[in-house]
Structure 1
Amino acid sequence: MTARRMPWDELVQWSRDRNLLAKRLYLVISEPTDGIGPVLDNLEPHVAYQTQLENQGVMFGAGPMADDAEEEWPGDGLFIYRAGSRDEALKLAEADPMHIAGARRFVVRPWLMNEGTVSVRLFYSGGRPEID
């Protein structure tokens, strides 16, 4: 008996045929190589790079990930890039100062965003937007 398979392009088309969003994005899962110390040492240039990508419209979302008990930040992060290909996403991740310094290693995974919702509430005076 042969194992069933689903080629990626077929899944993308299946999603489109069912009126799902079928938005191609790239997840970067980044984890410390030697504890949180080197991560903290490289946090400022890392955030500056992430902000640059955000301003260029590349960064869909990014942020730190807590441990399973939600008590501590071990130094992990997750980034979602709007990139034209996995190779492009790899180059973006490789250029992150956190990865250049060797404070974290990363993997890049293609992701198809199909379902979900977002609500944004903007305030004209003082305060920040609320995102649900």
Structure 2
Amino acid sequence: MRFDCGYNREDWVEYLGDNFKYKVGVAPREEEIVKKYSDCLDNSNNDAIVWLGDLNIDESVGVYEIKIKNTKLTTRVKLSKICVDIIRAGSRHAFGKGMFFILYSNDNNNSNLQYRISYVKYEISYV
């Protein structure tokens, strides 16, 4: 895997390996989340948020692909909020203790898809 190249779904699916159960689907309450963050999510082909499947190591970890607009409005804080909203939208039992998010944007409509990977850990704490 070359991390200095642009994002490519097929390369990542192969990189995640045998423990990755590849299925393409939608996120829970996806339409609502896309609408809420329309200023920074790129939903031009109805593909702003794509559930790629589950990585099964000790527990199932969901893997999501999120297509963002390449704008100054897309801050790290806002990206974090999108990821948290996706987690909150699903059932607590729909995934293990966290999710991987592959966030990417198309830089000036060329073929170099810039991306970042985030892992968000999910823990329930009772106060």
TM range (shorter): 0.3 to 0.5
Question: Normalized per residue, which structure has more strand?
Answer: 2
TM-score by length of 2: 0.33
Question: Higher relative contact order by CA 8 Å / sep ≥ 6: 1 or 2?
Answer: 1
TM-score between both structures, scaled by the size of structure 1:
0.32
